[in-house]
Homo-oligomer: A and B are copies of this chain.
Amino acid sequence: MDPAKLLDILGNENRRKIIQLLANRPCYVSEISGRLGVGPKAIISHLSLLEQAGLIECSVDEQRRKYFNIANNVRLEVSVSPYSYTMALQDINFDREKKRESYAVENNGPATRDESSCFFLKLSERLRELRIKQEELAQMQKQLQAEYTELMDKCLDSIEDIARNPVECELLFELLKNEATAAVLCYNLRLHPSIINSNLMDLAERGFVEYTIKNSQQYWKICETGVENK
């Protein structure tokens, strides 16, 4: 799934509530409609949108009633900061049926009631540990993002020391965020290719930028080996 698509979906409060309900348990349309206090027609239209996106799927129970459950396993990260806006969607792919089978074979099922109890409590303990780890990782990412912004602040000060004109300033700032082709730089800075190129050449001569060839295109970036060479 495309992250933009997921953001479009999550941009609606009722759709978020539906996902919340389904993450708790599979539900029928009437249940969802009752819980949310929203007419079944609107619920059905939200559900079909979610289904088309592959986020949920529907099954039919013994009484031939349709119920819906979450079919996907995704993780979306968006960060908005003064120097960056990124969104990334990770598909947590794993073959659930296969995993369950392999587990069944490995274990042959716990034999006695006591073993079953013990096994269940162990699993539950492990779930708790995972939640703690997730929280720790989130904290680490928070710190990284703070450090990133702080570092960009310092870089901006530093650029002012080394750039000889405003175009060089802009070029160094762009390349700090991402390597780029001259064409992309022209577009982003809205400057003529000749100006971009002559400034890039100057910066390259002074050891600040260099290029690499990828897919037969010239990508400019801040020098990686610059520190060691000095």
Contact = CB atoms under 8 A, between A and B. Distances in A.
A71 B82 CA distance: 6
Given A74-B81, A79-B75, A142 B92 contact: yes
A44 interface: no
Interface string A214-225: 000000001110
Contacts of A177: 24
Given A117-B162, A133-B144, A206-B117, A80 B90 contact: no
B76 A55 contact: no
Query: How many protomers of this protein does the assembly include?
Result: 2
B208 A80 contact: no
A114 B230 contact: yes
A110 B120 CA distance: 61
Contacts of A201: none
Interface of A: 4, 6-8, 10-13, 16, 19-20, 22-24, 55, 69-85, 88, 90, 92-94, 96, 99-100, 103-104, 109-110, 113-114, 116-128, 130-131, 133-134, 137-138, 140-142, 144-155, 157-159, 161-162, 172, 176-177, 188, 206-208, 222-224, 226-227, 230
The list of the 9 closest CB pairs from A to B, nearest first, reads A11-B11, A23-B85, A121-B226, A116-B161, A120-B158, A124-B222, A73-B81, A76-B78, A75-B79
29 contacts: A8-B11, A10-B11, A23-B84, A23-B85, A69-B82, A70-B82, A71-B82, A76-B76, A90-B141, A92-B142, A94-B146, A96-B149, A96-B150, A99-B153, A103-B154, A104-B157, A110-B161, A113-B161, A120-B159, A120-B208, A123-B154, A123-B158, A124-B155, A131-B148, A133-B144, A134-B145, A134-B148, A137-B141, A138-B141
